[in-house]
Amino acid sequence: MKEELISGKITRREFAQRLIALGIIGSSAGTLLTWADKAHAAKRGGRLRAGIAHGSTTDTLDPATYENGYMSKINYAIQNHLGEVDHTGNMFPELAESWDPQNGAKTWVFNLRRGVEFHNGKTLDSDDVIASFQHHMGETKSPAKSLLKQVSSIRKDGKYKVVFELTGGNADFPFVASDYHIAIKASKDGKINPTDGIGTGAYVLKEMEMGVRFFGTRNPNYFKPDRGWFNELEMLSIVDPTARSNALTTGEVDVIDRVDLKTAHLLARKSGIKVEETTGTKHYTFPMRTDTPPFDDNNVRMALKHAVNRDEIVEKVLFGHGVVGNDHPIAPSNPFHAATLPQRTYDPDKARFYAKKAGGSIKVQLSAADAAFPGAVDAAVLYKEHAAVAGIDIEVIREPSDGYWSNVWMKKPWGACYWGGRPTEDWMFSTAYMGGASWNDTFWKHDRFDKLLIQARAETDQNKRREMYYEMQQIVRDEGGVVVPMFANYVFGTTDKIEHGTLAGNWDLDGDKFHERWWYS
């Protein structure tokens, strides 16, 4: 119906009548009609120029290597996935037309969309999906490898149907299968070329200089008639927040992510500029390598968790654009967030207590750069001051922003990090907390936690599932290697010529899909 509306085959009135016929009324119908009005208002044309806070000279086009927001946005510009997260946090089909769970959600059948073309003219089929998934399985360093350990086999059932057999039931498998690393690429002889930059996305890659600039043009054969409004897309890596704001105010770019929160109120006052924000699952962390002394001692970890003043960091680093964290990664917006779990607070006495149990004085180094998250260095300095009250000595190491993700994160014993989070608990935990996961940046393993993770996937009783996820959040909070002081809003700036519909909050800039969902007024 949406495609018919966009193409002009039906009117808005007919669209509304069909909603009623389908029993879609109330707020749901209102949301769709608002979308219809926006869709009719949208128009094609122009070059969208974006200044992005990430990007490194060490980046590659291989989806198995994506590790920052710049590459994520390029990924969503040139490639598609089996499904996509919408503004409600739900998963909807994208390259898949539909999916069907069978055998207690141990078998998943994905029916592919027909007639979708890659940028090289090849038509999407089952072989492309299978080869794209296999790129992240077996001998690979892909972060998606840990997510796909549950897949025992993949087979095709005809040209447009792919069947996944899992080792156990997983009601959330469409989320896993749509992880942003698992971009669907064209295959040849059972393999994909991971760095060719060819996808099915709204924009065709024309120029790419890693860590500097991306340039693409609109895909004339894009399969979504209501997406990809711009004729050209240019994304610049502008890591410095002041330079990014200046680029927007001087007209060098039309969109920036990660507005400098210190000056966001001033930017919003400028003529022709809009500053907006969305809430979601993004959180800022200080992960400790639990395989490295002294962080292999949970008493040290607990001392450091009690030695940070979360409220002050939210006030002075986020400037109120977020909420305090509780040393686990599940956001208040997640369906099984443990709201009843007592909030950890700043307690120098408890920090001293755990430091004493650890053997006395604690002296550690904390690596930080603003590439980790805006204000990461300031947050680390505040943390140092908080901990000093408890007699804990934190030396802040200011790291270079360029190469931070390849040279510092998961390399140094303790550092700063950001996570976009995930819409489901299983997706988040499987990505970064399961023992042996590729992005388990604390190198933490907990047998009870891993057992609950597997059990919760297959549990259909929502109350039992909630109890499992609550316990898992408590385990991470009390025994894990991560300090999660805050959940941050996504704050971004645009010129007043940019229009959009209801924003998704699963990633920055409308789920990292601003370039295909937005348009010029």
Percent of the chain at pLDDT above 90? 85
Please report the pLDDT score of residue 471 as a whole number: 98
What mean pLDDT is predicted for residues 362-384? 96
> Is beta strand 213-218 parallel, antiparallel or unpaired with respect to 417-419?
unpaired
What mean pLDDT is predicted for residues 436-447? 96
Positive or negative: CA dihedral 238, 194, 180, 85:
positive
What mean pLDDT is predicted for residues 248-274? 96
Please report the pLDDT score of residue 460 as a whole number: 83
SS3 121: coil
Whether the pLDDT of residue 38 is over 90: the answer is no
Whether the pLDDT of residue 3 is over 70: the answer is no
Rounded distance, CA 342 to CA 89, Å? Answer: 26
Please tell us whether the domain made up of 283-488 is placed in CATH 3.30.70.1140: no
Q: Which two tokens stand for residue 203?
A: 């924009």
- Tokens 């305090």 correspond to what residue? 324
The pLDDT-based confidence of 36 (bands split at 50, 70, 90) is: low
Task: Write down the domain spans for the chain.
Answer: 1-41, 203-279+490-520, 283-488
The pLDDT-based confidence of 220 (bands split at 50, 70, 90) is: very high
- Estimate the crossing angle of helix 447-458 against helix 462-479, to 10 degrees: 160
What mean pLDDT is predicted for residues 426-433? 95
Please report the pLDDT score of residue 24 as a whole number: 77
Whether the pLDDT of residue 182 is over 90: the answer is yes
Whether the pLDDT of residue 6 is over 60: the answer is no
The enclosing H or E element of 202 equals none
| Phi, psi of 274, deg, nearest 5 | -120, 135
Please tell us whether the domain made up of 203-279+490-520 is placed in CATH 3.40.190.10: yes
Rounded distance, CA 498 to CA 494, Å? Answer: 7
DSSP string, 214-275: EEEEE-TT-S-TTS---SEEEEEE--SHHHHHHHHHTTS-SEESS--TTSHHHHHHSTTEEE
Please report the pLDDT score of residue 9 as a whole number: 66
Question: What is the value of pTM for the model shown?
Answer: 0.83
